[in-house]
């Protein structure tokens, strides 16, 4: 959902404003705080509001708070975060993300709470409103920090007591929750956050193995919790594009699309498409996809992933509509060209997205029968997807194939754990019942009960005839796959060992290589190195 705690109830509580001329704050502190702050704002991606500002204050009573459009951070609070060493940026992100959520969520209780507290008789309705906002800021702040690449779950239970101690606060302070309550709220928020993050991870793997509608249920579940993020809108849009793709004939669109979150490579022999070509339904799906991509862009007009995906959606609409209305088809192709040019301006030095823009430009050229330009764009991109499209030009849509490994008697394992034995008697540390457009479904996570230390097991189940069991490696996993792939292995190593993948799923910062026959998929980063893999068992409707 990469890279998103929490009960930083202290965020707006222990603050003061100094009227004296403050001493200068060291430049490196200002730079570090602003770097974390900007990274959190970028991850939030909500540019419909004025961009918030950050100000560091030297007043020793100042912790962290927001007022108007500004988040204030005390230098003493910064120094406390710095004392956490390797977790210093995580602690700083915890403070800042909590305050940013207060700003983005429009919480306005601070002034009223401060006035009420001064009277010594705190109104219960004010206190309840304050607590509700704090819990919301904990949860959403955790998601925000995670999406920005910070891991703050583990640091908070240790951070809060030191915060109290550093600012001379008693554990049982009149008008405030007891420290133990705050830590318990932090734990609860952390557990809920972890669950939502696991939903996001599960959904992404479901997309990779082609269970798009099932993945949609998890994205919607996260949105129902109130988290508003550009990646959620983008990924729901991807679902609708994938749904539309299933209603095209393969001859309509024989090339691979640079769709981010994903694109199933439609150049293999197993991807036949729908011969009926339900035109009205697919166009409805594509219009819905555009609506979600535009929602993502409304949060961040420079969100390159949504721009590329909008280009893909307009291309497909152009292919669909030009049959009956060539002018309408040309209009959508023009819109796709506009999106490609905008994305090209915004990609900067992000190599993966730069190549995806070139693939998009080549796709437009190919569909408008400008084969020389298409070849030039794709050869310039030189990505696996682009070169596969060149092969389509040379050999035709149905002539592209590659060597694929058959099923093997020995099945892939992570941490030498058998998913097949787990299926006979599944035991979970966490379980949830959820509901989506296709009906009710169950989600479960297992780690401790299976004595796993470097992986997690997820079960998505609609019923006996529709489920997926997934086991994914942790970032520090030191083992190897059955054919010798490890974290850090190169893309060519994977292809050499496992041959041509049945599906390639495009990510904004990498890709999935999917091997259904071996029931394994690998995640690669922008440098085309393996960052993890997932072993799965799936039964689809």
Please give the structure tokens belonging to residue 492.
């060519």
CA 1 to chain centre: 2
**Cα distance between residue 217 and residue 282, in whole Å:** 20
| Residue 191 pLDDT class (50, 70, 90 cuts) | confident
**CA–CA distance from 484 to each of 60, 478, 487 (Å)?**
55, 11, 10
The terminus-to-terminus CA distance of the chain in angstroms comes to 25
pLDDT of residue 35: 93
Give the tens place of pLDDT for each residue, 147-180: 677 877 778 778 878 877 887 765 554 444 566 7
Q: Measuring CA to CA, which residue among 429, 463, 424 is closest to residue 445?
A: 429
pLDDT at 481 over 90: yes
User: Residue 2: its pLDDT value, please?
Assistant: 36
Which of 45-54, 249-258, 270-279, 327-336 has the least mean pLDDT? 270-279
pLDDT at position 133 over 80: no
Structure confidence by residue, pLDDT tens digits, 367-389 = 999 999 999 999 999 888 888 89
Least confident residue range of 120-124, 510-514, 532-536:
120-124
With left for phi above 0 and alpha for psi between -120 and 50, is residue 404 left, alpha or beta? beta
Angstrom distance (rounded) from CA 499 to CA 516: 12
DSSP states of 25-38 as a string? PPHHHHHHHHHHHH
How confident is the model at residue 540, as a pLDDT? 86
- Evaluate if residue 411 carries a pLDDT over 60: yes
The DSSP symbol for 404 reads B
Q: Give the confidence band of 1 by pLDDT, cuts at 50, 70, 90.
A: very low
**Could you report the per-residue pLDDT of 45-90, keeping only the tens digit for each?**
677 678 899 999 998 888 888 888 899 999 999 999 999 998 999 9
Instruction: Pick the more confident residue, 19 or 460.
Output: 460
| Residue-level pLDDT at 124 | 53
- pLDDT tens for residues 220-236? 888 887 666 778 888 88
pLDDT at position 504: 83
In this predicted structure, the answer to whether residue 314 has a pLDDT above a threshold of 60 is yes
Please state whether beta strands 439-446 and 455-463 pair in parallel, antiparallel, or not at all (unpaired). Answer: antiparallel
- Given this model, what pLDDT does residue 535 score? 98
Least confident residue range of 291-300, 343-352, 466-475, 492-501? 343-352
Query: Which tokens in the block code for residue 343?
Result: 């994305």
């Amino acid at each position: 959902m990469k890279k998103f705690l929490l009960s930083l109830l202290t965020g707006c509580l222990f603050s003061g404003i100094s009227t004296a001329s403050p001493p200068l704050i060291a430049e490196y502190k200002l730079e570090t705080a602003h770097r974390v702050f900007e990274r959190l704002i970028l991850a939030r991606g909500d540019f419909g509001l004025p961009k918030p500002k950050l100000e560091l204050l030297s007043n020793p009573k100042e912790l962290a708070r927001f007022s108007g459009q500004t988040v204030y951070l005390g230098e003493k609070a910064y120094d406390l975060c710095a004392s956490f060493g390797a977790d210093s940026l995580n602690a700083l992100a915890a403070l800042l993300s909590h305050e940013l959520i207060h700003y983005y969520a429009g919480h306005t209780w601070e002034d009223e709470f401060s006035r009420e507290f001064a009277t010594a008789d705190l109104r219960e309705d004010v206190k309840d409103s304050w607590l509700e906002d704090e819990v919301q800021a904990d949860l959403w702040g955790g998601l925000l920090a995670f999406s920005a690449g910070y891991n703050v779950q583990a640091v908070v239970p240790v951070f809060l007591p030191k915060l109290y101690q550093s600012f001379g606060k008693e554990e049982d302070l009149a008008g405030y929750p007891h420290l133990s309550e705050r830590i318990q709220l932090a734990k609860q928020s952390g557990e809920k956050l972890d669950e939502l993050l696991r939903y996001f991870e599960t959904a992404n793997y479901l997309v990779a193995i082609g269970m798009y509608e099932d993945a949609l249920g998890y994205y919607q579940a996260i949105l129902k919790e109130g988290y508003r993020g550009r990646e959620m809108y983008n990924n729901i849009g991807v679902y609708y594009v994938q749904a539309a793709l299933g209603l095209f004939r393969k001859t309509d669109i024989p090339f691979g699309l640079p769709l981010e979150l994903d694109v199933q490579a439609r150049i293999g022999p197993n991807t036949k498409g729908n011969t009926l070509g339900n035109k009205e339904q697919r166009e409805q799906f594509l219009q819905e996809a555009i609506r979600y991509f535009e929602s993502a862009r409304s949060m961040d007009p420079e969100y390159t992933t949504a721009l590329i995906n909008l280009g893909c959606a307009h291309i497909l609409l152009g292919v669909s509509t030009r049959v009956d209305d060539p002018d309408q088809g040309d209009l959508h192709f023009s819109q796709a060209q506009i999106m490609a040019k905008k994305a090209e301006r915004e990609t900067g030095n992000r190599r993966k997205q730069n190549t995806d823009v070139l693939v998009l430009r080549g796709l437009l050229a190919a569909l408008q029968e400008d084969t020389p330009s298409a070849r030039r764009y794709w050869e310039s991109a030189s990505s696996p997807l682009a070169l596969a499209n060149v092969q389509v030009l040379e050999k035709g849509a149905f002539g592209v194939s590659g060597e694929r490994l058959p099923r093997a008697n020995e099945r892939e394992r992570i941490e030498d754990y058998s998913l097949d034995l787990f299926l006979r008697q599944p035991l979970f540390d966490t379980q949830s019942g959820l509901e989506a457009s296709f009906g009710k479904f169950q989600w479960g996570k297992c780690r401790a009960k299976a004595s796993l230390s470097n992986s997690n097991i997820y079960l998505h189940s609609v019923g006996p005839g529709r489920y997926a069991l997934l086991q994914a490696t942790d970032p520090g996993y030191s083992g190897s796959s059955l054919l010798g792939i490890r974290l850090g292995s190169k893309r060519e190593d994977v292809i050499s060992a496992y041959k041509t993948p049945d599906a390639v799923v495009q990510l904004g910062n990498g890709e999935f290589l999917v091997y259904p026959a071996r029931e394994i998929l690998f995640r690669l980063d922008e440098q085309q190195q393996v960052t993890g893999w997932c072993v799965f068992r799936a039964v689809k409707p």
